[in-house]
């Protein structure tokens, strides 16, 4: 009987999880090939929130690096600097583009150098509990 209850519970939870998952899409992910000495790389992608609730990207992990952070590049007194964002909000029915000279995900402490043609994996965790696995192709600079 306990098993039966567990099955019912699992089935009833499924649609909620998958609907939330469908509300967030990640597209056009890529990173540029860097010199072999580079220890950090920037990842660019577009996050689409097609749902009716705002959602925040809260954390990123990748097996390719020691850690990952959300960064925003900005010009300050003629110098390019990077600011660390604790999270990234995506309003309902909005897209947020992470692109060169703007928002990006910084993979810090690469475990090995990455060549064009390779693919690295990241997991993006959102405030609604959704975790999306994203494949990031490394492209020629």
Question: What are the residues binding Cu ion (CB under 5 A)?
Answer: 71, 82, 106
CB of 82 to Cu ion, least distance (A): 4
Nearer to Cu ion, 49 or 104 (CB): 104
- For Cu ion, the closer CB: 70 or 134: 70
Return d(Cα 55, Cα 85) in angstroms, integer: 15
Cα(95)–Cα(118) distance, integer angstroms: 27
Instruction: Name residue, tokens 């010009």.
Output: 75
Q: How far is the CB of 69 from Cu ion (least distance, A)?
A: 7
Indicate the residue among 60 and 130 with the shorter CB distance to Cu ion.
60
Residue nearest to Cu ion (CB): 71
Q: How far is the CB of 4 from Cu ion (least distance, A)?
A: 51
Say how far apart CA 103 and CA 96 lie, in whole Å: 9
For Cu ion, the closer of residues 48 and 72 by Cβ is 72
Type and span of the H or E element at 12: helix 2-22
Q: 54 near 90, Cβ under 8 Å?
A: yes
């Amino acid at each position: 009987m306990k098993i039966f209850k567990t099955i019912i519970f699992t089935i009833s939870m499924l649609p909620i999880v998958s609907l939330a998952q469908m509300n967030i899409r990640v597209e056009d992910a890529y990173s540029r090939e860097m010199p072999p000495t580079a220890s950090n790389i920037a990842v660019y992608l577009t996050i689409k929130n097609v749902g009716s609730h705002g959602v925040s990207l809260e954390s990123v992990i990748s097996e390719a690096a020691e850690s990952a952070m959300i960064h925003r590049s900005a010009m300050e007194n003629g110098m390019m600097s990077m600011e660390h964002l604790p999270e990234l909000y995506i309003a309902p029915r909005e897209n947020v583009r992470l692109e060169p000279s703007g928002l990006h995900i910084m993979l810090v402490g690469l475990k090995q150098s990455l060549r064009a043609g390779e693919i690295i994996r990241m997991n993006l965790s959102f405030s609604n509990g959704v975790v999306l696995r994203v494949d990031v192709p490394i492209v020629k600079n």
